[in-house]
Structure 1
Amino acid sequence: MWHLERSSVRWESASFCAAMDLAYPSRGLQAITWDGAALSDAALMQVTVARGDERAERIEDAYIRGNDLIVTYAEGSDREVRPQVCRRQVRWRVVHQPHAAPGIVLEVLVSVQTQYLDSDPRVQVTSVLPGREWMLLSGGAAASDYRPVSWPDASPQVVDVAAACQALLARLPALACSYGHILTPNDLVHARLSWDAARRATALETTYFAGRLEKGVLRRARSRAVLMPRTGDAELLAELLRETVATAPPLTT
């Protein structure tokens, strides 16, 4: 469950723990452990608004509702959007195959309300994970539809995946754990993988909301991922993809 104290929050359950500083949503969930093992150099569901640099956000409201952590950030003097960033619904989910096991579903729902004419609503959601063993799920939502990511030989090693797949699967080195991410098409502008050789880590960056908006527009996007055991990971991600496509994102209020 969530534990909130001022601007610090942590999630604790039997197999998954993580912490976050709400004043810095661009840092995302950190200090992550899965089944007692630390995910070194991992940061999940980092939320960055249009200006792109890192500075403390002013929190207007933060509260817990069941499995939801809902945070409203004040409008900054140098930007034209007011994002409501919801670390939305961390939950257990069981795959309906005999070899599968529970996974933790992580969902971020971002609502952006423009306050001025010609507003820039862009929001980035990024997850950083150790290793570079990633696979793409395209076509039908079946485990047999996966193919490995083909990294370019030259630097920078960046792969555009927005048009190439519906979901991505990362198998983390030295851990019996995998990470899956669903690419929801609504309001998704682009998605890319980038490999950092110095950190030995890969970043999955998704960008939502294209173009400038007029005053009084409310937009919403959902980013959904899952941490799961290595055994049965492809089947679990395919199952989550089918469920995500079939269900509308929840409201933020």
Structure 2
Amino acid sequence: MAAAASPWTLSGRVAKLSSGEFSAAVDVEHPGRGVQNVAWGGRPIAAVRHLLALNELGPRPCDLVRPIEDCYARGRDLVAVYAESPQYPLRYVLYWRTLGEEQLCGAAAGLDVVVSVQTSILDATPAAFLGSDVSAETVFRLTEPEHIWTPVASRHLGTAPDAAGGASRGDTFLCDLDGSDWSYAEMIHPRDQMPGDALALDHPPSPDAPAAAPLVRTSHRVLGLRLEKGVLLRARLRAILAPRQSARDVALASRAQFHRAELPLTA
């Protein structure tokens, strides 16, 4: 039986994703740019700047060019292997993985990113962050154990504590995207969550621009443990896109599935 065609197409160092109506692109040499050019039915979703980007230097985006050891598409995965070098003493492997129906749980589209890291030096403490930048009208954090979506910030709630440029912790965020009927949800696997997760508003509402949606920047610290030579560390982050009217229920269902899932053997 022939293997299903991959939704990823590589052209040089740029990978294009086409999965049904959903499309996007990844510049593999620049993992700090993440998933870009997100569109549905050929129409760009302008509120999405980038999704699931890797930054080794800190929680803010950083556009480093990483030496690539290998890059290929395999089934639902885009795999990029970043080589060790004197400048970068860690070997990273990133898997951007499109979600199947079981993982989507009714979402229109979704991706998991799995990051793994190894080193050949005797002792290292890798620090890596995964995150996204979107423009959002309203932002919610999922509170536990009640499973209640709590507003974090909104252009209509400029006096909220988190709307003053602060940060809000949590493993699952949901953003009602600006200028569209889409919502975006992002969640880190609970086994991989570390101190340092945050949601920040870099451009909160102001009296001079009351209608401007803030830039929402998510940041998840996914690595930070002591790493011995030859040992492999892994972490996972999920992103889903859903129509706004169903996004909250869909995000809860996809999150529950994500929490049950074992770490894929291919990672």
TM over 0.5: yes
> How big is each residue's C-alpha offset from its partner over 1:52-97, in whole Å with a ceiling of 9 and x where there is no partner?
843211111111111111111111312321110111234445877x
| Identity score, percent | 29
Q: 1:94 to 1:79 in 2, by over 3 A?
A: closer
Q: 1:243 to 1:29 in 2, by over 3 A?
A: same
1:153 Cα deviation after fit: 6.8
TM-score by length of 2: 0.82
How far, CA to CA, are the matches of 1:83 and 1:177 in structure 2?
32
Instruction: Tell me which of 10, 17, 34 is aligned to 1:11.
Output: 17
Q: Kindly indicate whether residue 52 of structure 2 is the aligned counterpart of residue 45 of structure 1.
A: yes
How far, CA to CA, are the matches of 1:59 and 1:153 in structure 2?
38
Q: In the alignment, which residue of structure 2 is the partner of 1:111?
A: 116
1:229 Cα deviation after fit: 1.3
SS of residue paired to 2:185: strand
Q: How many matched pairs?
A: 243
How far, CA to CA, are the matches of 2:35 and 2:243 in structure 1?
19
1:176 Cα deviation after fit: 1.1
Q: Kindly indicate whether residue 173 of structure 2 is the aligned counterpart of residue 168 of structure 1.
A: yes
Q: In the alignment, which residue of structure 2 is the partner of 1:138?
A: 143
SS of residue paired to 2:197: strand
How far, CA to CA, are the matches of 2:150 and 2:64 in structure 1?
38
How far, CA to CA, are the matches of 1:131 and 1:48 in structure 2?
22
How far, CA to CA, are the matches of 2:13 and 2:145 in structure 1?
42
Q: In the alignment, which residue of structure 2 is the partner of 1:29?
A: 35
Any residues of structure 2 matched to 1:1-253 within 5 Å, and which?
Answer: 1-40=7-46, 42-50=49-57, 53-92=62-101, 101-140=106-145, 142=147, 145-149=148-152, 151-152=160-161, 157-162=165-170, 166-189=171-194, 190-197=196-203, 200-252=214-266
SS of residue paired to 1:208: strand
How far, CA to CA, are the matches of 2:95 and 2:53 in structure 1?
11
How far, CA to CA, are the matches of 1:102 and 1:120 in structure 2?
36
TM-score by length of 1: 0.86
How far, CA to CA, are the matches of 1:47 and 1:216 in structure 2?
22
SS of residue paired to 1:133: strand
| C-alpha contact (below 8 Å) 2:152/2:162 kept by paired residues | no
| C-alpha contact (below 8 Å) 1:172/1:178 kept by paired residues | yes
1:183 Cα deviation after fit: 2.6
SS of residue paired to 2:124: coil
Structure 2 runs not aligned, ≥5 long: 1-6, 154-159, 205-212
Q: 1:229 to 1:118 in 2, by over 3 A?
A: same
| C-alpha contact (below 8 Å) 1:94/1:103 kept by paired residues | no
